[in-house]
Structure 1
Amino acid sequence: MPVSLEDVEKARKTLAGVICRTGLAYTNTVSEMSGNHVYLKMENLQRTGSFKLRGAYNKIANLSEKEKSKGVIASSAGNHAQGVALAATTFGISSTIVMPKHAPLSKVNATRGYGAKVVLHGDVYDEAYAKARCIQAEENSTFVHPFDDPMVIAGQGTIALELLEDLPEVEVVVVPIGGGGLISGMAVALKNLKPSIKIIGVQTKNMPCMAEAISRKCIVTIDKIPTIADGIAVKTPGNLNFDIVKHFVDDIVTVDEEEIAGAILLLLERIKTIAEGAGAAAIAAVLHRLSQYKGRKIAAVISGGNIDVNTMTRIINKGMVKSGRKVFFDTMISDKPGTLWTLLQLIADAGANVLAVTHSRDNQGVALGYAKVELELETADKEQIYAIKRLMEEKQYCVNIR
């Protein structure tokens, strides 16, 4: 293997006093929902808001003085960017980070705040990577790869050392996968220290590069599809990572966008912690893809918490609609005084909260003498939604749920 347990243990010494030892939190909510004993490794509370600092700092700390003098460059969807920027600034060297054009603004601003020059290029990580390599060739700087590098892999593996110390009886570890750096480092440590442990990787269905590579038994590049899990939106897995995953990882599952959004909302509302899409992927897998495990001690890595506020707002709204906490109704009413009040009173009596009302006479398809009413309602659950729909239909309203 390109990375050994000794490399991970050495990385831990390098990172001492730099990173935070993140907590391992038991979650009653996810445990009850999944039928297991679920613990969360809270890397969303790490410095820079992600595990990425571990690998970035370990790599930069081990550069030669000549390599440091040239400055460093990296490509990143955002979290590796912040790790490289902070590590480079700590060592007093310059850093340039190429990020996708649509990287969350919070990650872009934080990267600049840590002292890096930021270049925005491409739609996904892989396009940013190609641009970073071009800049590196022009400036002769030192490239810090986000996942396909032994020092980076070893740094990420230090999470596993903490995990096993805090929960030596852990049976299953669930880890998000982008290019594979995090799961590679953790797998090396976990399988060497506790061979019986099951390691489950998680990818988004929109970008399952490692899952496809393992299935086809070779490195593949897949087409890009937008995903809210930008931190694991990688088209091509790393070569070193592929070899380690193939050797050590027991299974890779994929989760869809709604499942990730639901996990973000669950973590926010019930567990009181903020996770980005990639960070919530492991919880989505525990809830929706690991039904074969019951009564097991499972640790899920919440890999990052750097989520854009606008993205969070959309996810919350989408999650509330999916869970029946919010609904949109369309109906027609007679265009007479008091008819809108009658409709709203009916909704209020049914126990729903009206968030917004649009009343229009001029929409296409609205007959003369009528008005179209669009309602945004806050509801308790899907059962209440359909109870309100039945009640409205009993009162002769024609109802459409959007």
Structure 2
Amino acid sequence: MKDPITFADVLSARKTIAGHVIHTPLRPSTALSEQVGSPVWLKCEQQQYTGSFKLRGAANAVLRLSDAQKAKGVVGVSTGNYGRALAYAARNAGVRSVICMSELVPQNKVDGIRAQGAEVRIIGRSQDEAQHEVDRLVKEDGMTMLPPFDHADIIAGQGTLGLEVIEALPDVDTLLVPLSGGGLLAGVALVAKSINPGIRVVGISMERGCAMITSLQEGKPTAVRELPTLADSLGGGIGENNQYTFDMCADLTDDFVLVNEAQIADGIRAAYHDDQQVIEGAGAVGIAALRAGLVDNPGQTVVLTTGCNIDMALHKRIAGGEDVDLMAE
């Protein structure tokens, strides 16, 4: 692990990205509060520019580049939301961006990235395969790789989401954080434990191919097979040479929860009907876990609803009550 990321780094990131991101609302969920028996709040990060929390880290990383790095451009691998955020941040800074993705990334997310002005390259059927093209562009074109999670500036930027939550609700008991590569979980947990070690931080992911939880169980970064899932933004590996997020998630997280596809669909549906929020599968896993009774004694809880970039035809099917299984399609 490189030099550790500190609470001061998150405070610095907040200054860097001020004016480049939205301070998103924290709103109570009456339906979830009644079901759980304690107050539940939604941190509506799906209302962020580009439709997900990823802009916080991407903006922080791009704005901290040197002029020489900006001149060469940035490249990254993405399952969709990070690519959109990096493209947006790069375009606003006048920097060329190339986003590499696997064939499993939904077309609406590919189109969203192109709309932000990035060059898109579809490589293979996994994030690890797409990473090979990133490595080539770094070596041959001198571009700067900004990974979606395992990077100090990315993690510090994502941590600003935790700052907003705890400053608005200092007596929060439990934070439910979607988990993929761990950049968000690492940043938010760092902030929570720095301010109040008693805050419970729970990482939540999908049963179909959660690389971080598998890696933590194995005691080292471990590759998993990527499968179609409603929580597509949580797909991908954590990298064999993980520098930050593996250790930070292991050290700072209290619990981990896995939800299945039916539970994710239920979370998407409930967010729409009960709270009038359009939330993608990855952003709905916290709601899914609460509704399935997978979080014991949560107390005053904040669910990070982290993205809204779902194909709207798919959302309509789920909201309408259809039993959607992407493995069968």
Residue in 2 that maps onto 1:190 = 192
Residue in 2 that maps onto 1:213 = 215
> Partners in 2 of 1:250 and 1:4 — Cα distance?
19
Q: Following TM superposition, by how much is the alpha carbon of 1:105 offset from its aligned partner in structure 2, in angstroms?
A: 2.4
Q: Following TM superposition, by how much is the alpha carbon of 1:290 offset from its aligned partner in structure 2, in angstroms?
A: 3.4
2:129 alignment partner, one of 127, 144, 159 = 127
Residue in 2 that maps onto 1:301 = 304
> Partners in 1 of 2:175 and 2:274 — Cα distance?
22
Q: Aligned ranges for residues 178-257 of structure 1 at < 5 Å?
A: 178-236=180-238, 238-257=242-261
Report runs of 4+ in structure 1 exceeding 6 Å deviation.
Answer: none
Residue in 1 that maps onto 2:272 = 268
| Higher Rg | 1
CA contact (8 A) 1:267 1:274 kept: yes
Residue in 1 that maps onto 2:92 = 90
CA contact (8 A) 1:5 1:189 kept: yes
Q: What SS is found at the alignment partner of 1:270?
A: helix
Q: What SS is found at the alignment partner of 1:146?
A: coil
1:53 alignment partner, one of 41, 52, 55 = 55
Change over 3 Å in CA distance of 1:96–1:291 after alignment to 2: closer
Change over 3 Å in CA distance of 1:130–1:34 after alignment to 2: farther
Change over 3 Å in CA distance of 1:99–1:11 after alignment to 2: same
- Are 1:286 and 2:290 an aligned pair? yes
Residue in 2 that maps onto 1:361 = none
After superposition, what is the alpha-carbon deviation per residue over 1:97-119, rounded to whole angstroms, capped at 9, x for unaligned? Answer: 11222322222222112111111
Q: What SS is found at the alignment partner of 2:301?
A: strand
Q: Aligned ranges for residues 2-401 of structure 1 at < 5 Å?
A: 2-236=4-238, 238-293=242-297, 296-317=299-320, 319-321=321-323
Taking only aligned residues, the RMSD between alpha carbons, in angstroms, comes to 1.6
Change over 3 Å in CA distance of 1:188–1:291 after alignment to 2: closer
List alignment gaps of at least 5 residues for structure 2: 325-329
Q: Following TM superposition, by how much is the alpha carbon of 1:208 offset from its aligned partner in structure 2, in angstroms?
A: 2.0
CA contact (8 A) 1:222 1:236 kept: no
CA contact (8 A) 1:126 1:236 kept: no
TM-score scaled by structure 1? 0.77
CA contact (8 A) 1:274 1:305 kept: yes
TM-score scaled by structure 2? 0.93
Q: Following TM superposition, by how much is the alpha carbon of 1:37 offset from its aligned partner in structure 2, in angstroms?
A: 1.2
> Partners in 2 of 1:183 and 1:321 — Cα distance?
30
> Partners in 2 of 1:122 and 1:262 — Cα distance?
31
> Partners in 1 of 2:185 and 2:44 — Cα distance?
15
After superposition, what is the alpha-carbon deviation per residue over 1:294-350, rounded to whole angstroms, capped at 9, x for unaligned? Answer: 5x1000100111001232234335x4459xxxxxxxxxxxxxxxxxxxxxxxxxxxx
Q: Following TM superposition, by how much is the alpha carbon of 1:282 offset from its aligned partner in structure 2, in angstroms?
A: 1.1
Q: Following TM superposition, by how much is the alpha carbon of 1:289 offset from its aligned partner in structure 2, in angstroms?
A: 4.4
Residue in 1 that maps onto 2:327 = none
Matched residue type, 2:302:
A
Q: What SS is found at the alignment partner of 2:303?
A: strand
Change over 3 Å in CA distance of 1:273–1:87 after alignment to 2: same
Matched residue type, 2:61:
K
| Structure number having the greater strand percentage | 1
CA contact (8 A) 1:183 1:201 kept: yes
Change over 3 Å in CA distance of 1:134–1:314 after alignment to 2: farther
Q: Following TM superposition, by how much is the alpha carbon of 1:2 offset from its aligned partner in structure 2, in angstroms?
A: 2.0
Q: Following TM superposition, by how much is the alpha carbon of 1:243 offset from its aligned partner in structure 2, in angstroms?
A: 0.7
CA contact (8 A) 1:184 1:244 kept: yes
> Partners in 1 of 2:27 and 2:179 — Cα distance?
21
CA contact (8 A) 1:207 1:222 kept: yes
After superposition, what is the alpha-carbon deviation per residue over 1:250-289, rounded to whole angstroms, capped at 9, x for unaligned? Answer: 0111000110011001111111111111000111112224
> Partners in 2 of 1:112 and 1:25 — Cα distance?
32
How many residues align? The count is: 320
